[in-house]
């Protein structure tokens, strides 16, 4: 049996796509392997959001060139966002690559690989294609928690972002197709699904008849066997009061929202063309916390966007302290080909970006530590999803607010169970505790 090795870079959407590719190729007798030296086909599923991601891919392709010199029959492919953005330039820069295909061509991966193996190389396939709902998964994929793509593409046009180019226009999958996938996952033991979309809060507006994410959450909530539902990523511009009420009222939806801010400066937000102001964001957070008391919040922030001054950066630091995030993902601005921001003349020097990046991470860590400490002494609901990395005698799970909890294993507690855990210690990246009585109400964090 031919062997496939997959290397995935980037976001949850890419992880989801890699699982589908592995599942589709498994149906054509490909066996997934962790050892690239044994593989007959190596696929790199790539990210183009930042230049650093691309550098990692080209570095890896350099390593694979040496492997292919020893094994000429090896097929090397590049898929995903970087493939869609750079197309034939990838093969020109890295001749080791035999196959380049974008996300729209994932449904045809078996055909494309077969063509390359028959000698049609290099092969580049990055054109648009009809939206296809793929549900195939490889053997051994995590069955307790799964991603489910509910829509593709984005039409926001933020000046720093290549997603509209790499993922195309916004298109939603019909609710029936999504529910079929979720029911199939639940039948195989899945306990938690995360609904994915680049601007997931806009789900369903392009369907006929139109629907919305709140209605989809209500339908997914009815799937037997499922314990939890999450969704990501949302844009503050379109986050509605109806969606907030769904987080509060739909039992399986977790009280956790990832809501990218990107910058705390109105001037920078305007140049990014984000569509909201600092005050609009704060008003949204206030409304969300009033509707869903104790909701946990995470965000994305960019440092060093073109023209960002020290005052702009200080405004971002102040927003982190004011909002009180549970988790913050910080990124240094990276010019992306074809985006307006890449042409701005007032690019911020790399040392300044690095310094601001470190300062923001430190500030976000202090805020997150305070939020985590608020859980000490409280009992939280935990979905058990694996063994602790520290000790085989411990289990690990996640709270509804998406925090990792480690606790001592005990008889009667198995993977997939939902248990109460009394938190005894808050560490920088996790919580520790002991199994206790389930709380009457799920606890995330105090306000």
For 410-442, how does the pLDDT look when each residue is reduced to its tens digit (9 = 90+)? 999 999 999 999 999 999 889 999 998 876 665
Q: What is the pLDDT of residue 390?
A: 81
Q: What is the pLDDT of residue 281?
A: 98
Q: Which two tokens stand for residue 232?
A: 């990501």
If one counts the domains in the chain, the total is 3
Tens of pLDDT, residue by residue over 309-332, are: 999 999 999 999 999 999 999 999
Sign (positive/negative) of CA torsion 306, 311, 314, 318?
A: negative
Q: Which two tokens stand for residue 426?
A: 């808050």
Instruction: Choose the final residue of a domain: 125, 153, 180.
Output: 125
Mean pLDDT of 168-194: 95
The whole domain housing 76 covers 3-125
Tell me, yes or no, whether 174 lies in a domain: yes
* 385 and 303 both lie in a single domain: no
Radius of gyration of the chain (CA): 22
- Residues 118 and 267: their CA atoms lie apart, in Å, by 55
Collapse the DSSP code of 101 into the 3-class scheme (helix H, G, I; strand E, B; otherwise coil) and give the result: strand
Tell me, yes or no, whether 63 lies in a domain: yes
Tell me, yes or no, whether 402 lies in a domain: yes
**If we measure between CA atoms, which residue out of 273, 372, 274 comes closest to residue 328?**
372
* 189 and 212 both lie in a single domain: yes
Q: What is the pLDDT of residue 142?
A: 65
DSSP 8-state secondary structure symbol assigned to residue 49: S
Sorting pLDDT into bands at 50, 70 and 90, what band is 247?
very high
Mean pLDDT of 230-254: 96
Mean pLDDT of 241-268: 98
Q: What is the pLDDT of residue 446?
A: 41
CATH of the domain at 394: 2.40.50.140
| Tokens 């001054």, residue located | 309
Rounded to whole angstroms, the maximal C-alpha distance in the chain is 63
Pairing type for strands 418-426 and 404-408 reads unpaired
Mean pLDDT of 259-263: 98
Listed range (12-16, 274-278, 325-329) with the worst mean pLDDT? 12-16
CATH of the domain at 247: 3.80.30.20
* 316 and 245 both lie in a single domain: yes
Q: What is the pLDDT of residue 73?
A: 92
The beta-strand segments (E) located in 344-430 are: 379-387, 394-399, 404-408, 418-426
Sorting pLDDT into bands at 50, 70 and 90, what band is 391?
confident
Collapse the DSSP code of 444 into the 3-class scheme (helix H, G, I; strand E, B; otherwise coil) and give the result: coil
* 333 and 347 both lie in a single domain: yes
- Residues 290 and 71: their CA atoms lie apart, in Å, by 61
Q: What is the pLDDT of residue 165?
A: 86
Q: What is the pLDDT of residue 443?
A: 62
* 292 and 429 both lie in a single domain: no
Tens of pLDDT, residue by residue over 66-114, are: 999 999 999 999 999 999 999 889 999 999 999 999 988 999 999 999 9
Tell me, yes or no, whether 41 lies in a domain: yes
Q: What is the pLDDT of residue 444?
A: 62
- Residues 142 and 138: their CA atoms lie apart, in Å, by 9
Q: What is the pLDDT of residue 441?
A: 62
* 84 and 216 both lie in a single domain: no
Write phi, then psi, for 91 (nearest 5 degrees): -65, -35
* 8 and 93 both lie in a single domain: yes
pLDDT at 267 exceeding the cut of 60: yes
* 3-state class percentages of the chain: helix first, strand second, coil last, to nearest 5: 40, 20, 40
Instruction: Choose the final residue of a domain: 356, 373, 390.
Output: 373
* 52 and 85 both lie in a single domain: yes
* 400 and 384 both lie in a single domain: yes
* 287 and 429 both lie in a single domain: no
* 344 and 249 both lie in a single domain: yes
pLDDT at 447 exceeding the cut of 50: no
Tell me, yes or no, whether 136 lies in a domain: no
Quote the mean pLDDT of the chain.
93
* 192 and 292 both lie in a single domain: yes
- Residues 29 and 259: their CA atoms lie apart, in Å, by 41
Instruction: Choose the final residue of a domain: 353, 373, 393.
Output: 373
Tell me, yes or no, whether 84 lies in a domain: yes
Plot region of 153 (φ>0 → left; ψ -120 to 50 → alpha; else → beta) = left
Sign (positive/negative) of CA torsion 314, 315, 318, 319?
A: negative
- Residues 177 and 129: their CA atoms lie apart, in Å, by 18
């Amino acid at each position: 049996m031919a062997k496939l090795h997959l290397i995935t870079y980037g976001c949850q959407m890419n992880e989801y796509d890699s699982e589908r590719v592995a599942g589709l190729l498994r149906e054509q007798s490909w066996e997934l392997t962790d050892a690239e030296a044994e593989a007959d086909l190596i696929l790199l599923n790539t990210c183009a959001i930042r230049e650093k991601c691309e550098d990692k891919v080209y570095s890896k392709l350099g390593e694979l060139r040496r492997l292919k010199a020893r094994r000429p029959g090896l097929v090397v492919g590049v898929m995903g966002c970087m493939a869609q953005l750079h197309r034939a330039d990838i093969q020109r820069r890295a001749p080791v690559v035999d196959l380049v295909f974008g996300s729209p061509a994932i449904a045809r991966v078996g055909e494309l690989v077969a063509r390359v193996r028959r000698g049609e190389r290099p092969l580049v396939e990055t054109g648009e294609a009809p939206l296809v709902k793929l549900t195939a998964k490889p053997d051994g994929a995590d069955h307790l928690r799964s991603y489910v793509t509910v829509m593709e593409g984005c039409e926001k046009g933020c000046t720093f972002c290549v997603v509209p180019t790499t993922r195309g226009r916004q298109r939603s999958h019909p609710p029936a197709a999504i529910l079929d996938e979720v029911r199939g996952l639940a039948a195989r033991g899945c306990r938690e699904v995360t609904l994915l979309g680049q601007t997931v809060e806009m789900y369903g507006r392009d369907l006929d008849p139109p629907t919305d994410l709140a209605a989809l959450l209500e339908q997914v909530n009815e799937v037997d066997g499922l314990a939890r539902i999450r969704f990501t990523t949302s844009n503050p511009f379109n986050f509605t009061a109806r969606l907030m009420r769904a987080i509060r009222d739909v039992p399986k939806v977790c009280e956790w929202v990832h809501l990218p801010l990107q910058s705390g400066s109105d001037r920078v937000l305007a140049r990014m063309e984000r569509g909201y102001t600092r005050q609009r964001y704060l008003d949204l957070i206030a409304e969300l916390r009033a509707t869903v008391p104790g909701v946990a919040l995470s965000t994305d922030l960019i440092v060093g966007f073109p023209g960002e001054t020290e005052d702009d950066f200080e405004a971002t630091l102040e927003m982190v302290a004011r909002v009180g995030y549970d988790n913050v993902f910080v990124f240094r601005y990276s010019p992306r080909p074809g985006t307006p921001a890449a042409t701005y003349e007032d690019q911020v020097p790399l040392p300044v970006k690095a310094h601001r990046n470190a300062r923001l991470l430190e500030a976000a860590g202090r805020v997150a530590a305070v939020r985590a400490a608020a859980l000490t002494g409280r009992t939280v609901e935990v979905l058990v999803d694996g063994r602790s990395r520290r000790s085989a005698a411990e289990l690990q799970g996640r709270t509804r607010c998406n925090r990792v909890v480690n606790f001592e294993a005990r008889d009667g507690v198995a993977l997939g169970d939902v248990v109460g855990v009394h938190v005894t210690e808050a560490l920088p990246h996790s919580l520790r505790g002991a199994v206790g009585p389930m709380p009457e109400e799920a606890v995330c964090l105090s306000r």
